[in-house]
Amino acid sequence: MIPFKQIKVGDAIPSMTKPAISHLQLALYAGAGADHNPIHVDEEAAKAGGLPGIIAHGMLPLGFLGQLLTQWVPQRQVRSLSARFVAMAFPGDVITCSGKIVGKREEAGAQLVDLEITAQNQKGENLQLGKATVALISE
């Protein structure tokens, strides 16, 4: 349990590095995520669409950012999650997710912290820039 009063603006939450994205993972995500766009599984279709090759679903790194939060607090405490997909992820990319506290507030009796969250690839390039709000306990 993470007490609200011990959290300070500027604090980092524990970061998380995922195993490299594989073609198998994209196939599994195409199925489970119900996203059958061929640009995620078919090299020729991706190139025909003007892409350099197969790209990962944007929802995959965002799924990782969701995990960043649920590894820090129980999922029920996550109030919101969002991201801008600023660059594409490709098979083989190793994604690291990190987050820091940018605000603390109380709203309707709930103690909330606002976070900035980021998914980067192995070159340190930002792939996703996001925000989240998490409720913490008071004691």
Partner 1 sequence: MIDRSIIGKEYPPFTAEVEKRWVRSFAEAIGETSPIYFDESVARAAGYRSLPAPPTFPFAMIMDGNQSFMILDELGIDKRRAMHGEQSFVYHADLCAGDVVTGRQRVVDVYDKKNGALEFLVTETRLDNQRGEHVCDLRTTVVVRN
Binding residues vs partner 1 (CB under 8 A): 18-19, 25, 28-29, 31-35, 37-39, 45-46, 48-51, 55, 57-60, 62-64, 66-67, 69-71, 74-76, 78-85, 88
Find the shortest distance in angstroms from Cβ 79 to partner 1.
6
Is 3 or 49 the residue whose CB approaches partner 1 more closely?
49
- Dihedral of CA atoms 99, 100, 104, 106 in degrees, nearest 10, equals 10
Judged by beta carbon, residue 46 or residue 113, the one nearer partner 1 is 46
The overall longest dimension of the chain from CA atoms, in Å, is 56
DSSP letters for 11-38 = PEEEEEEPPPP-HHHHHHHHHHTT---G
Of 79 and 104, which has the nearer Cβ to partner 1? 79
Query: Residue 42 corresponds to which tokens in the numbers above?
Result: 């078919």
Identify which of residues 81 and 115 has a Cβ nearer to partner 1 in the complex.
81
Closest CB 1 distance from partner 1, rounded Å: 13
Ranges of beta strands (E only) in 1-139 are 12-17, 78-85, 96-107, 110-120, 126-136
